[in-house]
Structure 1
Amino acid sequence: MQTIAERLRSALSRIDSATANANRPPKSVKLLAVSKTKPVSDIRQAYAAGQRLFGENYVQEGVEKIIDLQDLPDIEWHLIGPLQSNKTRVVAEHFQWVQSVDREKIARRLNNQRPPSLPPLNVCVQLNIDDEASKSGLSPEELPAMIDAISNMDNLVLRGLMAIPKADVSAQHQQQTLTQLHDLFEHYRTKLSNFDTLSVGMSGDTEAAIANGSTMVRIGSAIFGARQ
């Protein structure tokens, strides 16, 4: 059985190969290790192997891990799951990134509740790029208004876009979706400072996402093993 360190190296090698095949600069794609439902001992193993960016889907679980791992000073925590308005304060107090901002109300609460002792909170706008009823996120048509709103919030830094494209689709559909995401990202990247993150791609579509401009892929079970 492979160790977490070995699986982590395999994931990074896969990212490096996909980046090279897409003729993109080395190390231009970051790995976000998705650690939801996994114990802090697993996160410590990944950290010891060099991983620093970790993604959590559930607020309470994530906050407990952040508190447990405070002795790891340069670890970076990303919330990638849905966020309800009654949980924004604890997120604003503990996480460095929120990738799942899908309503102006959520953005405004995060902005107002970010402690002044902390640097601004990095956020991504989540897009529901395939218009799936089961997923959160804005439509592309709603994106400009959200970007304008966040741009006026002093305690947030708008870093980019996050999406979870529809699974089990044809190669043509996948390519259309990823092209649309890339075009939207490039449009705003040229207009906004700090807008440098396109968080798209998981274990099943890493190569396709990187070929279409993803700067951050989110990989969980390939590193930590299957979830219970």
Structure 2
Amino acid sequence: MMDENDVKELISSYKNIKDRVEIISNKFDRHNVKLVAVSKTKPTEMIRILYDKGHRHFGENYIQELVSKSEELSELNEIKWHFIGSIQSNKSKILTSVKNLYVVETVENKKILDKLAKSLLNNEENNNNNNNNNNKKLNIMIQVNTSGEESKSGCKPEECLDLVKHCLEDNNCKNSLNFLGLMTIGNPNATPDQPDFKCLVDCKNNISKQLNIPLDSIELSMGMSHDFEPAIEFGSTSVRVGSAIFGERDYSNKK
């Protein structure tokens, strides 16, 4: 149970980040930038507090932690979960069954696309057999490794066009998945010209041109606690902020 001072600190940190997102968005004429509060390793009590303050978008990195939290918070009907961690293909069925899963941001190859699509179609078949007609496409984002760091996940920039085409044209994928946009993790030591963010914008422009998709319909998820302001300047439509809101993380009980 959080004490009164901890609650005040959380709310203050959240409002500070929210205000900074709004200020930088207005400065560069960016509209409707989503703030995703990355709540990994943090207790559901903290999520409830921010939800009660009107926040809806929350990010999780670990499938089992997301499953556990989504079940514990199942009565929060307007919550929107963003999965932003590595996807094990054998866990796709578990992932796609999460209530209020809004988007999977970390799709990096066709195998994951196909696994997610197959899991969703199987879920749909089961729902139909149970007379449950609450089926809709799952939003996905293609993760691009814009920095070229071997430690980071994501497809190469030159591969993302082919992955988007597969999502839009493959029968299973187009019937179960909705291409929402692109995601990247910028190099924390990036130079002021932000080559990683610029690379993702270039990928977006190329996809729009090659596949005749309106530019403003392709979202960009880039920017975290340390670099969300330059990310918004470069065109991010969704920033993922964790420690600047929730404080440092404790990984000792990581799921």
Same fold (TM over 0.5): yes
1-side partners of 2:30 and 2:38: how far apart? 24
Structure-2-length-normalised TM-score:
0.84
Preserved CA contact (<8 Å) 2:37 2:245: yes
Preserved CA contact (<8 Å) 1:189 1:195: no
Could you tell me which of 238, 241, 248 is aligned with 1:216? 238
Deviates more, 1:3-12 or 1:160-169: 3-12
2-side partners of 1:169 and 1:220: how far apart? 20
1-side partners of 2:188 and 2:106: how far apart? 18
Alpha-carbon distance, 1:5 to partner: 2.0
Preserved CA contact (<8 Å) 1:121 1:157: yes
Q: Specify the code of the residue in structure 2 equivalent to 1:182.
A: V
Alpha-carbon distance, 1:189 to partner: 4.3
Question: What number of residue pairs does the alignment pair up?
Answer: 224
Counterpart in the other structure of 1:203: 225
Could you tell me which of 136, 144, 150 is aligned with 1:127? 144
Partner of 2:179, secondary structure, is: strand
Preserved CA contact (<8 Å) 1:201 1:217: yes
- Identity among equivalent pairs (%): 37
The reply to whether residue 136 of structure 1 matches residue 153 of structure 2 is: yes
Deviates more, 1:4-13 or 1:126-135: 4-13
Could you tell me which of 157, 176, 181 is aligned with 2:178? 157
Counterpart in the other structure of 1:14: 20
Preserved CA contact (<8 Å) 2:25 2:232: yes
The reply to whether residue 101 of structure 1 matches residue 120 of structure 2 is: no
Preserved CA contact (<8 Å) 1:158 1:195: no
Structure-1-length-normalised TM-score:
0.93
Q: Specify the code of the residue in structure 1 equivalent to 2:158.
A: E
2-side partners of 1:53 and 1:19: how far apart? 18
Please, which runs of 5 or more residues in structure 2 have no aligned partner?
A: 125-133, 251-255
2-side partners of 1:180 and 1:39: how far apart? 35
Could you tell me which of 78, 81, 87 is aligned with 1:83? 87
Alpha-carbon distance, 1:24 to partner: 2.6
Q: Deviations over 1:121-141 (max 9, x none)?
A: 100000000111001100111
2-side partners of 1:100 and 1:207: how far apart? 22
Report runs of 4+ in structure 1 exceeding 4 Å deviation: none
Preserved CA contact (<8 Å) 1:101 1:124: yes
2-side partners of 1:195 and 1:159: how far apart? 8
Preserved CA contact (<8 Å) 1:188 1:195: no
Preserved CA contact (<8 Å) 2:42 2:246: yes
2-side partners of 1:57 and 1:67: how far apart? 16
Q: Specify the code of the residue in structure 1 equivalent to 2:207.
A: Y
Counterpart in the other structure of 1:30: 34
Preserved CA contact (<8 Å) 2:161 2:207: no
Q: What do you get for the CA RMSD once the two structures are aligned?
A: 1.6
Counterpart in the other structure of 2:53: 49
1-side partners of 2:221 and 2:72: how far apart? 26
Partner of 1:54, secondary structure, is: strand
Q: Specify the code of the residue in structure 1 equivalent to 2:34.
A: K
Alpha-carbon distance, 1:143 to partner: 1.0
Could you tell me which of 60, 66, 84 is aligned with 2:64? 60
Counterpart in the other structure of 1:168: 189
Higher helix share: 2
Counterpart in the other structure of 2:127: none
